[in-house]
Amino acid sequence: MDFGDQVTALYASSPLDTFRLRFHHETGFLGAHGWIRRGLARRPAALFVHCDIAERNLCYEPLEFSFVGYFSSRSRAGASMCRLRTLHLCRLVLNEDFEDFVANDLPVLEDLQLEGCEHSFGRIASGSLKNLTIDSWSPRFSAHVLVLSVPRVSTLRIDGSVLPVTSECEMASVVAASLTHQAGHLLRFLHGATSLDLSKLSATALLDDEEAAAVFPNLRTLLLYDCDDVAVLRHFLQNAPKLERLTVRYGRFLGGSTRSKKTSSDRHGRAAYECRNLKSVELEFYDDHDVFELDEALGDISREYVLPIQRSARHGKWAEDPVGQDMAAAIP
Domain residue spans of the chain: 1-171, 175-332
- Confidence (pLDDT) at 298: 84
The string of DSSP letters for 201-258 reads --HHHHHSSTTTTS--TT--EEEEES---HHHHHHHHHH-TT--EEEEES---TTTTT
- Confidence (pLDDT) at 264: 40
pLDDT tens-digit readout, 13-50 = 688 999 999 887 665 566 788 888 888 888 999 999 99
Q: Which of 23-32, 43-52, 82-91, 305-314 has the lowest mean pLDDT?
A: 305-314
pLDDT tens-digit readout, 174-207 = 999 999 877 777 888 998 999 999 988 877 667 6
- Confidence (pLDDT) at 328: 43
Neighbours of 213 (CB within 10 A): 16
Closest by CA position to 83, among listed 159, 19, 167: 19
- Confidence (pLDDT) at 30: 66
What pTM, to 2 d.p., does this model score?
0.82
Closest by CA position to 253, among listed 281, 232, 222: 232
Strand order in the sheet with 92-94: 63-65, 92-94, 118-119, 138-139
- Confidence (pLDDT) at 85: 97
Average pLDDT over residues 63-82: 80
What distance in Å separates the CA atoms of residue 302 and residue 292, rounded to the nearest whole number?
18
- 161 pLDDT tier (thresholds 50, 70, 90): low
Greater confidence (77 vs 88) lies with 88
